[in-house]
Structure 1
Amino acid sequence: MNAHFPPSARVRTGAEYARVFEQARRTSDPILSLHWLAGETPAKLGLAVSRKVDPNAVGRNRIKRVFRDQFRKLRAQLPAGEYVVVARVAARKADNAQLRETFLRTLVRAGALPASAAPGTMPPVTKPLPSLSRNTPKPDVSAG
């Protein structure tokens, strides 16, 4: 896994943020709001964590660090475009695992990632099973 997060993978300027906020699809959760603007360039991340979310810089930086790390891990799987995460006040009380899970769930809800198969005991059905109805005659096995 490449731990590098180059400047080309970031939404950096105010004009880029403004364009994303104006034109992007928004998917929300109590912890964050995701703005996704599909585009031609590889996936880029922008973060907005205000003092309203956490008045302490340490808390704001923790939230940004968790989102940045999760994005870095998923970047190769994400469709091209710009992703801006706006943290909400509930993010302050969420632990790192909750932040990661919420970010992932929001990406799936937005359509940026495919939904994972639901865990269960039955294997997935690959082809439809033939229907057996009561009106179908049974094969004659006595003529042998």
Structure 2
Amino acid sequence: MIETDPAAPTFSFPRSARLRQPSEFQAAFAEGRRLHGTCFRLHVRPHPAGRARLGVSVSRRVDLRAVVRNRIKRLAREVFRHAAPGLAPGDYVLVAKREAAAALRAGNAAAVREELRRLFARCPSLKPGEAGGTMPASTPDAADALAPPSSDS
């Protein structure tokens, strides 16, 4: 029987650290803030409770070969696992671009890892999102000022 050292680091990526439901991905796309890189687009949807969770989307448009798509996902999970302790709780969705597959096919996995590290390092600089829309929330005083004058005379 193989004995494991309880003090040894674990290299797993637990289910609680993953986005699994399509609705979770859709919420991150709809409500999240975006960061763009050469090989990836990152959608960040912060929420105060919980932990940092990752979802990775690599379509067949990125590369037809599943081997390459799966390698992109493994690299993304590895970098996220190391970056997660320094990230705010929220949902992080990575969308791969064709350039990620091209870099891996060219044997440049280090450049892909470095870009992922840079994207995750830029996450704390994101401004908090508004409640929705581009117009500022109206205040009761502003609503009164815009109301037509009453004819109580």
Say whether the fold is shared (TM-score over 0.5): yes
Shift of 1:98: 1.1
Q: CA RMSD in A?
A: 1.5
Query: As a proportion of its length, which structure holds more helix?
Result: 2
Q: 2:125 and 2:75 mapped to 1: Cα distance?
A: 19
For the pair shown, the structure with the greater C-alpha radius of gyration is: 1
Identity %: 40
Shift of 1:5: 1.0
CA contact (8 A) 1:78 1:112 kept: no
CA contact (8 A) 2:17 2:53 kept: yes
- Measured against aligned partners, the alpha-carbon deviations of 1:63-106 in whole angstroms (never above 9, x if no partner) come to 11101111111211211101000000100122221111101111
In the other structure, the counterpart of 2:58 is 49
Number of paired residues?
Answer: 113
In the other structure, the counterpart of 1:19 is 27
Q: 1:78 and 1:30 mapped to 2: Cα distance?
A: 21
- Measured against aligned partners, the alpha-carbon deviations of 1:30-73 in whole angstroms (never above 9, x if no partner) come to 21000011112100000000011010000000111101111111
Q: 1:20 and 1:96 mapped to 2: Cα distance?
A: 27
Runs of 5+ unmatched residues, structure 1: 114-144
Say which of 32, 35, 39 aligns to 2:40. Answer: 32
Q: 5 Å matches for 1:62-77?
A: 62-77=71-86
Shift of 1:112: 6.4
Shift of 1:14: 0.4
Matched letter for residue 38 of structure 1: P
Say which of 107, 112, 119 aligns to 1:99. Answer: 112
Runs of 5+ unmatched residues, structure 2: 1-8, 127-153
Q: 1:10 and 1:31 mapped to 2: Cα distance?
A: 21
Q: 5 Å matches for 1:92-131?
A: 92-94=101-103, 95-111=108-124
